[in-house]
């Protein structure tokens, strides 16, 4: 373990959307900013697939409006292998862009797992060993990790998470979506537009979009949501 303790103005823990934005926002007001990430910065695995799928669907629907490019089956034209390859390409390009952006702003990037050793000091554990960093301020932006009940872990065959959905090889005839929020809404929309029958399981009082009560009230109106989506909703406590 390295014994050196380096002093920085600000340490940001987390290389996802919140961590990157926090580091960029802090950079003009600090002499030294370090962002600590377990993986490559900008690796927004749970967000990227749904964005690519929605964009692909939008493009397909534009093509359907042309008599020269019209396809006979939207689901049949939705090439999951091609979509997965494109998702990887977009994700790689985005990670490179984020890294360049941080480098240009002189934000240091440290790859590893952070743990506190004191209120203003963290230890970084990586494949190359351990070292410690100290700072005047530490911003925690580590994000959230989904919790999967035993027996429901993503397997790439029947159970998927937002970050593993690109492992799906064929579109199912029916699917269960558990949970609401922005990601739940997105995947219900995606599979509905692809003609998949959906059972949507949400908490009592849901679904909730995460964008405030006005948005929720608009989205959950029966004449707007369930009639537009090929979905059956189930609520639980």
Domain-embedded: residue 157: no
Say whether both 131 and 214 belong to one domain: no
- What does the block give as tokens for 219? 């989205």
Residue ranges for the chain with pLDDT beneath 70: 1-7, 44-46, 64-77, 220-231, 233-237
Domain-embedded: residue 158: no
Domain-embedded: residue 120: yes
Total domain count for the chain? 3
Say whether both 178 and 224 belong to one domain: yes
3-state secondary structure 48-109: HHHHHHHHHHHHHHHHHCCCCCCCCCHHHHCCHHHHHHHHHHHHHHHHHHHHHHHHHCCEEE
Domain-embedded: residue 146: no
Please tell me the predicted confidence (pLDDT) of residue 66: 58
Say whether both 226 and 207 belong to one domain: yes
Say whether both 53 and 67 belong to one domain: yes
Please tell me the predicted confidence (pLDDT) of residue 42: 82
Q: What is the pLDDT of residues 157-191, one digit of tens each?
A: 999 998 888 899 999 999 999 988 888 888 888 89
Say whether both 38 and 55 belong to one domain: no
pTM of the model: 0.76
Domain that holds residue 80: 48-84
Please tell me the predicted confidence (pLDDT) of residue 209: 74
Say whether both 114 and 22 belong to one domain: yes
Say whether both 185 and 221 belong to one domain: yes
Domain-embedded: residue 164: no
Say whether both 102 and 37 belong to one domain: yes
């Amino acid at each position: 373990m390295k014994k050196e303790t380096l002093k920085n103005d600000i340490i940001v823990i987390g290389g996802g959307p919140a961590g990157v934005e926090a580091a960029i926002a802090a950079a003009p007001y600090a002499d030294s900013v370090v962002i600590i990430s377990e993986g490559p910065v900008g690796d927004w695995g749970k967000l990227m697939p749904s964005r690519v799928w929605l964009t692909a669907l939008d493009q397909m629907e534009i093509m359907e409006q042309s008599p020269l490019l019209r396809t006979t089956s939207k689901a049949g034209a939705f090439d999951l292998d091609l979509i997965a390859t494109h998702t990887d390409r977009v994700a790689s390009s985005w990670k490179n862009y984020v890294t360049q952006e941080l480098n240009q702003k002189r934000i240091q990037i440290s790859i590893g797992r952070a743990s506190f050793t004191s209120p203003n000091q963290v230890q970084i554990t990586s494949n190359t060993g351990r070292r410690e960093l100290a700072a005047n301020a530490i911003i925690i932006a580590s994000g959230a990790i989904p919790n999967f009940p035993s027996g429901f872990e993503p397997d790439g065959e029947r159970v998927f998470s937002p970050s593993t959905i690109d492992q799906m090889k064929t579109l199912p005839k029916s699917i269960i979506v558990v949970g609401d929020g922005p990601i739940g809404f997105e995947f219900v929309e995606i599979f509905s537009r692809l003609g998949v029958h959906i059972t949507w399981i949400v908490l009592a009082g849901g679904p909730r979009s995460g964008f405030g009560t006005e948005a929720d009230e608009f989205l959950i109106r029966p004449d707007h949501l369930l009639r537009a989506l090929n979905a059956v909703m189930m609520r639980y406590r």
